[in-house]
Amino acid sequence: MMSLRTYGSLIPGVPVSPSPTRIPATLNSSSSRYSRRRRPVNGCSNHPVSRQIVTEELSISMYNRWIRHRCRTGGIDEAMSLLAELDSLGSQPDPLSYVTLIETLSALGRTLEADALFQEVIRSGLHGSYPLRFYNALLGGYLRKGQLELALRVLDHMELENVEKNQETCEILLNYFVGAGRLEESWRVVNEMKKREFPLTSFVYGKIIRIYRDNGMWKKALGIVEEISEIGLPMDVEIYNSIIDTFGKYGELDEALQVLRKMQRSSDLKPNISTWNSLIRWHCHHGAVDKALELFTMMQDQGLYPDPRMFVKLITRLGEKGSWNMISQSFESIKCREDRRDTRAIYAALVEIVGQFGSFQDPEELVGRLKSEGVAPSANMFCTLADAYAQQGLCKQTVKVLKMMEKEGTEPNLIMLNVLINAFGNAGKHMEALSIYHHIKESGFTPDVVTYSTLMKAFTRAKKYEKVPEIFREMEASGCSADRKARQLLQNALMVLDKRH
């Protein structure tokens, strides 16, 4: 297991002998008054303590508070620097600060650092009353990155230490298995929850509906609704959204709209952004673009705004129909909103990209327009812009967005590199797509199921079917579980190969 020393000065290593307290610049102003104050010992003012000990105690307490504060406010790198400073003082954070750091790092996908801190906690016995929070944080972080093998190692360690799973542990596992399309494992988790008498919440039922839907058993998915009614569990927005998504996926659009109307009639179950996005996405998917546009307008009337990817899909469909006036109207309807200025600027750029098939503008000009609107380009924005080009197989523009992202000081993430694989795949350049895959591994990223599926799709487009099973085996060997799309690509490739032989 990698130790904390691997990360150099960023993360503290094994504590050394105590040294004089040094307060960081960020804490000096708020802590100077404490250095002049004596602190009672054991609640008794008759036992004076030396000024140095008082200063050290209060300073370490402030370090802990400031580490947790920076984790909560998005300053994880500063929190890690404070951790290193604590180590230089011969001290360690308290258990709550450790668990906050691990939860934050895991949520950000920095699982190597989270795991290193976790190992330090285990070695030092500093978990206090938070052992399960440590395990759940690390488990969730691994599974969000598709690192099933490492997640199973966490579960083995829990069993070894006699740490029992709780409701959150099971829901983390269920969320992963459902997302990976693994019906058997999903039901195993649900059965374990029943055995442990954990409540089957709307979150759990929503996931059961989804796993049925993704495995083609949409009628069984809807049968879950009857079970929910029988046990008296109140229907909530998450369950309704799962039902809408099920109807939409299988083209039952009228039924999906009936669920929407039922939600609108409810006094406490109003449609949220996920509801509208699902309805618009599936109407676009099944060619009902006019209705999708009507839903888009209804959503805005409710004060809600679509996510950029869904908006791109809608604009793309309108462009395919030649409905340029509708594109203009949609753009104007967003632009007239006085708030969400940043969102308007991003949408404006997306319209420029996707709405002009065959005459795409330079991405540098688009990003320049965003800057003129006062919008600082983010990693998510670059990925969205690149994806718009990638879907059209425009490799040069996609690569240009990647270079701009690096120029702006934003490190390309796995999402951007997956988009680049997709761009080359859609353009029929499967070897270039493969080179990006190798770059991902060489750069220290962990390929996820999207990486493998997109690469398999690239070789399928190039009719290099013999390569698809090889990629699938690599994915399984990496511990990344195949989703339905990956399994379908494998099945199609094997059918072609069987016919050839």
> Which CATH number goes with the domain that contains 1?
1.25.40
With a cut of 60, say whether residue 428 has pLDDT above it.
Answer: yes
Residue 176 lies in a domain: no
- Whether 1 is in a domain gets the answer yes
Q: How many angstroms separate the CA atoms of 67 and 72, rounded? A: 9
pLDDT score of 454: 92
370 in a domain, yes or no?
Answer: no
Is 194 a domain residue? no
Average pLDDT over residues 178-207: 87
- Of 80-84, 230-234, 277-281, 459-463, the poorest mean pLDDT is in 230-234
Pairwise CA distance, residues 177 & 171, whole Å: 10
In a domain, residue 102? The reply is: yes
Q: Supply the pLDDT for residue 457.
A: 93
Q: φ, ψ for residue 454 (rounded to 5)?
A: -65, -40
Structure-model confidence comparison of residues 347 and 472, the more confident one: 472
Residue whose C-alpha is closest to residue 466's, from 441, 435, 498:
498
Q: Give me the pLDDT at residue 455, please.
A: 94
Q: Kindly state the average pLDDT of the residues 4-14.
A: 31
Percent of the chain at pLDDT > 90 equals 16
Is pLDDT larger for residue 57 or for residue 63?
Answer: 63
pTM of the model: 0.48
Number of domains the chain is built from: 2
Question: Where is average pLDDT lowest: 12-21, 39-48, 95-104, 264-273?
Answer: 12-21
Q: In the structure, what pLDDT confidence band is assigned to residue 4 with cuts at 50, 70 and 90?
A: very low
pLDDT at 13: 35
Q: At residue 46, does pLDDT exceed 60?
A: no
Over the chain, what is the mean pLDDT? 76
126 pLDDT higher than 90:
no
Tell me the per-residue pLDDT of 71-99, one tens digit each, with 9 for 90 and over: 988 889 999 998 888 888 888 888 888 88
User: Could you tell me if 263 and 228 are in contact, meaning their C-beta atoms sit under 8 angstroms apart?
Assistant: no
**Token pair in block for residue 194:** 């029943």
Q: What pLDDT does residue 34 have?
A: 31
Residue 250 has pLDDT above 90, yes or no: no
For residues 315 and 327, the answer to whether their CB atoms sit within 8 Å is: yes
Torsion angle, alpha carbons of 296, 297, 302, 305, to 10: 50
Whether pLDDT at 376 is above 80: no
Greater model confidence, 181 or 372: 181
400 assigned to some structural domain: no
- Domain end among 164, 191, 208: 164
The confidence score (pLDDT) of residue 88 equals 85
14-34: per-residue pLDDT in tens? 333 333 333 333 333 333 333
Average pLDDT in the 222-228 region?
77
Residue 63 placed within a domain: yes
> What are the backbone dihedrals phi and psi of residue 44, each rounded to the nearest 5 degrees, phi first?
-115, 125
Report the sign of the C-alpha dihedral through residues 294, 298, 303, 305, in that order: negative
In whole angstroms, how large is the CA radius of gyration of the chain? 26
**Residue 42, domain extent:** 1-164
- Domain edge (last residue) among 118, 138, 164: 164
Last residue of a domain, one of 111, 133, 164: 164
Residue 65 covered by a domain: yes
Question: Could you read off the pLDDT of 161-175 as tens digits, one per residue?
Answer: 888 999 999 999 998
Q: Which helix (H) or strand (E) holds 184?
A: helix 183-195
